[in-house]
Amino acid sequence: MNLLESYRGHAEPSDEGSISGWDGAVSAFVSAAPRLFTIGLRVLQDVGETEDVVQETWLRWAGADRSVVISPPAFLALTTTRLALNVAQSARRRHETSAGPWLPETIDGSVSPETAAERRDAVDTAIRLLLERVPPAERAVYLLRIAFDYPYRRLSEIFHLGEDHARQLARRARHHLATERRHPVSTAAHRRLVQTFLAAAQTGDLAELEELLAADVVR
């Protein structure tokens, strides 16, 4: 299992003090892993985020005092559930505070001019945040995935990436959005992305937005 091979050499056995004890810990995790993945996926509905949660569960298990654990499957299941719920709640808070109002699939033409202006301001602010904090490839994948629900297969075709790579870029984008780092933003680039995004949301024609984001990735 790739997950275990990645971390087995980095996590030391706990106080069990024997190879058989460590092998038992590994065996317990391998046996539980399919169930853990199912638990995480049920909560998160995202394969990449679920893989991250199962990976974090392995790290918690590897570093735990397993001598006091009565039921390894129950411990692993509870750890996975808590981690997945934390990720889901964190994503919901980010969506409500920074992404919610600026990710419509279409623009409602019946809204008042005041509401339309507020939405444009929200888009303007959110895209500036993306430009300041998220590198081009991650930004391109994240914007199309979150705003327009692009499947990872389609994203891999547009940006010439593997699907797993596209998922990884989306996860990295979320991490970068949570940081405080900022890079200078070109006023012209910002204005163009805002205008192109709004046009795509209003008309449903995303070809120009795809081209603009792909060009940013190449540069």
Count of domains forming the chain: 2
At residue 90, the pLDDT reads 67
Dump pLDDT digits (tens) for 169-210. Answer: 988 888 887 777 788 889 999 999 999 998 888 788 899 999
Return the higher-pLDDT residue of 30 and 7.
30
On whether both 131 and 90 belong to a single domain, the answer is no
Write out the residue range of the structural domain in which residue 166 sits.
103-218
Taking the CB of residue 191, how many other CB atoms lie within 10 A of it?
12
Q: State which of 95, 118, 150 marks the end of a domain.
A: 95
Give the CATH number of the domain where residue 84 resides: 1.10.1740
At residue 86, the pLDDT reads 81
Structure tokens at 155: 């994203």
**Mean pLDDT in residue range 13-34:** 67
**Locus of tokens 């893989």:** 51
User: pLDDT at residue 11 above 50?
Assistant: no
Cα(70)–Cα(93) distance, integer angstroms: 35
On whether both 90 and 107 belong to a single domain, the answer is no
On whether both 107 and 168 belong to a single domain, the answer is yes
Cα(142)–Cα(38) distance, integer angstroms: 24
Task: Judge contact between 176 and 134, C-beta under 8 A.
Answer: yes
**Average pLDDT value over all residues in the chain:** 78
On whether both 60 and 137 belong to a single domain, the answer is no
On whether both 124 and 142 belong to a single domain, the answer is yes
On whether both 133 and 41 belong to a single domain, the answer is no
pTM > 0.85: yes or no? no
On whether both 44 and 140 belong to a single domain, the answer is no
Q: State which of 69, 95, 121 marks the end of a domain.
A: 95
On whether both 151 and 171 belong to a single domain, the answer is yes
User: pLDDT at residue 10 above 60?
Assistant: no
Dump pLDDT digits (tens) for 56-67. Answer: 898 888 888 888
Judged by DSSP in three states, 160 sits in coil
Dump pLDDT digits (tens) for 80-137. Answer: 988 888 887 765 544 444 443 344 444 455 555 565 666 677 788 888 888 998 999 9
On whether both 42 and 63 belong to a single domain, the answer is yes
On whether both 117 and 160 belong to a single domain, the answer is yes
Structure tokens at 89: 């709640």
Percent of the chain with pLDDT over 90: 20
Name which of 129, 104, 111 is nearest 197 in CA terms. 104
